[in-house]
Chain A
Amino acid sequence: MATRRNRRRASSALASVLRFAVTVVTTIFGLLVVTFFIGRVIPIDPVLAIVGDRAPAHLVERTRIELGLNLPLYQQFVIYTKQALSGDLGTSVLTSNPVLEDIKRVFPATMELATIGTLIGSVLGIPLGVLAAVRRGSIADQVVRVIGLIGYSVPIFWLGLLSLVLFYAQLRWVAFPGRVDIVYEYSFTPQTGFYLLDAAMQGQWDVMWDLFRHIALPGALLGYFSLAYISRMTRSFMLNELSQEYVVAARAKGLSETRIIWFHALRNAGVPLVTVIALSYANLLEGSVLTETIFSWPGLGLYITNSLQNADMNAVLGGTLVIGAVFVGINIFSDLLYRTLDPRTRSR
């Protein structure tokens, strides 16, 4: 009996691993196909990215042949796929570094921003969501829902530009777009790429303050968007939990409302919330393109935008693949976490 159950468990584990593997492979392959064809369909000549707008015609022709752009499309795709699968993301035309090296340099900036955003979003969003659920229908609930609605529906670049005009240009509360002031650019040597962490480890508090003033606005903006999502989901999970029988039972037993809400209901709602937070994090990583562009934040989003504008296709492909892989990775991670936290979901 016990062995049969173990066997069943093992085979289901194997199945889920396989399922993950299939998801990863198809997602990555899909990304590869899409980026390749986008790269070929956009009416920008990648050759000009290499030789420049003012290059004489013979040079343009020669480079086209060197890049293999004179080959039939399917051949180009095979070469492209082979190269990508072998882990060689090629060299960026723009920076002349291997794309992988560039990504290693810019990705921590994006992660730092997304982490700050998610932190703000969770720390504020969860209590707000709980408040809205507990006081369902009250003014507080309405306010939280309106905040969420705005966060959902207002385009990020618009809010970004508005906040820049207000907080940077008018009030001067925050620093000039970028990640660190020019003054510190050459006195501060980051180790890990996570500047806030680096500055803290090196005890450079003035740099820390400067970093804070740079990340405050984009971080708060992303935090707001994350808050909108997290508070809404928290509200709905909490409403679900609060209508459960165990809550009624707990109340009957005379437990304090605070205890019921924060220790029992939220704890149970916390399981699906983990997935929500993880997804929100993934969304921020992926959706940082506009924010980074507006705030000149030297992360992956800005890197991809620049590369696309310059038809630097190796870099676009590399960046897209990394984002895709991270997205899949976070999904798997949250799924696993979900299974660990909630035993009921394991045998499915």
Chain B
Amino acid sequence: MINTLNKRLRVLSTSAALSLMLLAVPQAFAVTPKDTLVIGLAFDDIITLDPGQAFEFSAGEVNGNSYDRLVRLDINDTSKVTPDLAESWSVSDDGLTYTFKIKQGLKFASGNPITAEDVAYSFERSVKIDGPPAFILNQFGLKKDNVAQKAIAKDPSTFVLTVDQSYAPSFVLNCLTATVAAVVDKKVVSQHVTNDDYGNAWLKTNFAGSGPYKIREWRANEVVVLERNDNYWGEKAKLNRVVYRHMKESAAQRLALENNDIDVARNLEPNDIEAVSKKGQTITSAPKGSVFYFSMNQKNPNLKKPEVVEAMKYLVDYDAIGSTLIKGVGQVHQTFLPKGILGSIDDKPYKLDVAKAKELLAKAGLKDGFSVTMDVRNNEPTTGIAQSIQQTFAQAGIKLEIIPGDGKQTLTKYRARTHDMYIGYWGVDYWDPNSNAETFTSNPNNADDGTSKTLAWRNAWDIPELTKETKSGFLERDSAKRASIYQSLQKKLLASGPFALIFQQTEVAGVGKGVKNFKLGPTFDTNYVFSVSKD
């Protein structure tokens, strides 16, 4: 029996070895096709691709590459805008009327001509769909019942926008660079309207634009495919196709990049960034319009004490966080306006100072410290930073209990103002200082049912004076004076606001060999892929 068993085992092991050898034959390994850029990106935030409704980062990137607007952000100098579909524009002396001249002879991807009529229609539908980004246009007094009169086509090449107050022109133009002002093909969209929805349901997964790429397909959490628009009026995209593959894990993206299964890895964490750069692939990065902070709910009696608020800002080890946890993906930044935006300052008065914090806590009558909770989203670097803060807080006797949760979970609580402390990102909604100023330093009604639920409101920070000052910022037509208003707001929040700003996000990408001209832009909708080529 032993003999037969041995014989069988021999046969078994030989055949196993044989099949292993067969498998080990070197294969022509799949490398991404020459005419296609394959990007690994976590894009589970996409809900819709309708530019009138989409407000998520990944959707912004897809739309930024596929839809045109009147003006775009100048990615070389982000305090300026450059012409896109508009050739030129002028503002009336009273500051209420903006007139845009549209470039001649332009076509949508469908082949239809682009006219001022399409622009007016796009504004109308964005306002009437009333999606998350509609407020950007509502700010100028465009409402459902008046948008048809306030955003009109005077003739096929002239679009006229009438605003309700004499705003800073830079504010209006900056807002028009957002995707909510993207221009859609009226003829195509009109064919797909159901229940007066302005084609909203259809455009969620379809395309009616004029940008360098057309959206061919989006399968939620799987793939987004862009295809070159041969009718594009500007310089044509070099590659036929761009494929975004949904990949959540940094490690998986790194593996795929190293094996040439993707050309670009977009969600690398610090340790993977290091590994990738050692392998000879390049790392490209750009500072983004997102800041990372923690906040202190003013409903909590301990957190309401100004000395406690100040002490907490001294209980963060900014240097350690900067050199480890956010290395490569962020830079220490303590003011609420990200670098690159009009009026932004880069004051950094705080560093870890336990003695000073203890002094402040003693002044507040909390010599022995206190206990407090913090809602923390389960991802990096959020968890790591929360843990770091937990340790430094402990040095001054503050017991921080971390409550981990899924993103939507922590956010639900934060929106309901039932947290003690919250830690996370805030990204600008549109590239203008008013965007962050409005949420951090204005709170028109601090009641629980207040309608303007800004971050200041979420943390119950009652600030009538600052609210007024914030409003003066977008009405100031002199850019220099405007900048000084925002500088003052940043300093005030830095000194006494219940927000401790920690860093500004740097977006990073690992780029495979042979990929040329892949650059990240300052905003999420300026991560342009149409200039990329491959060897």
Interface residues of A (CB under 8 A from B): 42-45, 48-60, 92-96, 135, 138-140, 164, 168-169, 171-173, 175-178, 181-183, 185-186, 210, 296, 298, 302, 306, 309-311
- Residue in B221, B258, B453 with the greatest tally of chain A CB atoms within 10 Å: B221
Take A43-B412, A59-B131 as given contacts and tell me if A54 and B261 are in contact as well, using a CB distance cutoff of 8 Å.
Answer: no
B106 within 8 A of A: no
Q: 18 interchain pairs (CB within 8 A)?
A: A44-B408, A48-B412, A49-B408, A52-B47, A54-B55, A56-B132, A57-B453, A92-B220, A94-B47, A169-B255, A172-B29, A173-B23, A176-B30, A176-B261, A183-B33, A185-B225, A298-B222, A302-B221
Give the distance in Å from the alpha carbon of A95 to the alpha carbon of B222 in the complex. Answer: 11
Per-residue CB proximity of B456-489 to A under 8 Å, as 1/0?
0000000000000000000000000000000000
B337 CB to closest chain A CB (Å) equals 18
Q: Which residue of B lies closest to A59 (CB)?
A: B132
Give the distance in Å from the alpha carbon of A96 to the alpha carbon of B412 in the complex. Answer: 23
**Cβ contact within 8 Å between A169 and B259:** yes
**Cβ contact within 8 Å between B451 and A57:** yes
Q: Which residue of B lies closest to A44 (CB)?
A: B408
Q: Which residue of B lies closest to A210 (CB)?
A: B30
Give the distance in Å from the alpha carbon of A15 to the alpha carbon of B265 in the complex. Answer: 60
Take A55-B55, A94-B221 as given contacts and tell me if A43 and B405 are in contact as well, using a CB distance cutoff of 8 Å.
Answer: yes
Which B4-23 residues have a C-beta within 8 angstroms of A? 5, 8, 23
**Cβ contact within 8 Å between A96 and B415:** no
Partner pick for A54 among B56, B130, B258, B406, CB 8 A cutoff: B56
Give the distance in Å from the alpha carbon of A169 to the alpha carbon of B254 in the complex. Answer: 10
Take A58-B451, A59-B131, A176-B261 as given contacts and tell me if A48 and B30 are in contact as well, using a CB distance cutoff of 8 Å.
Answer: no
Q: Which residues of B contact A49 (CB under 8 A)?
A: 47, 408
B402 within 8 A of A: no
Q: Which residues of B contact A55 (CB under 8 A)?
A: 55, 131-132
Take A55-B55, A135-B5 as given contacts and tell me if A309 and B406 are in contact as well, using a CB distance cutoff of 8 Å.
Answer: yes
Per-residue CB proximity of B415-456 to A under 8 Å, as 1/0?
100000000000101000000000000000000000111000
| Inter-chain residue pair count (beta carbon < 8 A) | 114
Take A171-B24, A172-B29, A183-B33 as given contacts and tell me if A53 and B411 are in contact as well, using a CB distance cutoff of 8 Å.
Answer: yes
**Cβ contact within 8 Å between B56 and A181:** no
**Cβ contact within 8 Å between A44 and B44:** no
Take A135-B1, A182-B33, A183-B33 as given contacts and tell me if A172 and B409 are in contact as well, using a CB distance cutoff of 8 Å.
Answer: no
- Residue in A49, A50, A59 with the greatest tally of chain B CB atoms within 10 Å: A59
- Residue in A54, A94, A168 with the greatest tally of chain B CB atoms within 10 Å: A54
**Cβ contact within 8 Å between A56 and B32:** no
**Cβ contact within 8 Å between A168 and B45:** no
**Cβ contact within 8 Å between B259 and A182:** no
A24 CB to closest chain B CB (Å) equals 31
Partner pick for B44 among A48, A296, A306, CB 8 A cutoff: A306
Q: Which residue of A lies closest to B54 (CB)?
A: A52
Partner pick for B409 among A44, A59, A92, A168, CB 8 A cutoff: A44
B280 within 8 A of A: no
Q: Which residues of A contact B221 (CB under 8 A)?
A: 94, 302, 306
Q: Which residues of B contact A173 (CB under 8 A)?
A: 23-24
**Cβ contact within 8 Å between B44 and A310:** yes
Given contacts A53-B408, A183-B30, A310-B408, 7 further A-B contacts (CB under 8 A): A57-B453, A164-B255, A168-B255, A169-B255, A173-B24, A176-B256, A306-B221
B89 within 8 A of A: no
**Cβ contact within 8 Å between A138 and B5:** yes
A10 CB to closest chain B CB (Å) equals 51
A159 CB to closest chain B CB (Å) equals 17
Give the distance in Å from the alpha carbon of A169 to the alpha carbon of B44 in the complex. Answer: 25
Give the distance in Å from the alpha carbon of A96 to the alpha carbon of B206 in the complex. Answer: 12
Q: Which residues of B contact A59 (CB under 8 A)?
A: 130-132
Give the distance in Å from the alpha carbon of A135 to the alpha carbon of B131 in the complex. Answer: 70
Give the distance in Å from the alpha carbon of A296 to the alpha carbon of B245 in the complex. Answer: 10
B243 within 8 A of A: yes
Give the distance in Å from the alpha carbon of A173 to the alpha carbon of B30 in the complex. Answer: 11
Give 3 nearest A-B pairs by CB, closest first. Answer: A57-B453, A55-B132, A176-B261
**Cβ contact within 8 Å between B256 and A53:** no
Which B132-153 residues have a C-beta within 8 angstroms of A? 132, 135
Give the distance in Å from the alpha carbon of A293 to the alpha carbon of B38 in the complex. Answer: 20
**Cβ contact within 8 Å between B220 and A177:** no
B532 within 8 A of A: no
Give the distance in Å from the alpha carbon of A44 to the alpha carbon of B406 in the complex. Answer: 8
Give the distance in Å from the alpha carbon of A92 to the alpha carbon of B47 in the complex. Answer: 11
**Cβ contact within 8 Å between A52 and B55:** yes
Take A176-B261, A306-B221 as given contacts and tell me if A44 and B47 are in contact as well, using a CB distance cutoff of 8 Å.
Answer: no
**Cβ contact within 8 Å between A182 and B36:** yes
Q: Which residue of B lies closest to A209 (CB)?
A: B27
Take A56-B135, A135-B1 as given contacts and tell me if A311 and B29 are in contact as well, using a CB distance cutoff of 8 Å.
Answer: no
Q: Which residues of A contact B166 (CB under 8 A)?
A: none
Q: Which residues of B contact A140 (CB under 8 A)?
A: 5, 8
Partner pick for A139 among B5, B45, B132, B255, CB 8 A cutoff: B5
Which B365-424 residues have a C-beta within 8 angstroms of A? 405-409, 411-413, 415
B352 within 8 A of A: no
Q: Which residues of A contact B48 (CB under 8 A)?
A: 96
Q: Which residues of B contact A43 (CB under 8 A)?
A: 405, 409, 412-413
Give the distance in Å from the alpha carbon of A135 to the alpha carbon of B245 in the complex. Answer: 50
Q: Which residues of A contact B45 (CB under 8 A)?
A: 52-53
B529 CB to closest chain A CB (Å) equals 15
Q: Which residue of B lies closest to A175 (CB)?
A: B30
A105 CB to closest chain B CB (Å) equals 9
Q: Which residue of A lies closest to B246 (CB)?
A: A296
Give the distance in Å from the alpha carbon of A210 to the alpha carbon of B27 in the complex. Answer: 11
Q: Which residues of B contact A95 (CB under 8 A)?
A: 219-220
B252 within 8 A of A: yes
**Cβ contact within 8 Å between A52 and B412:** no
**Cβ contact within 8 Å between A53 and B407:** yes
Q: Which residue of B lies closest to A93 (CB)?
A: B47
**Cβ contact within 8 Å between A96 and B24:** no
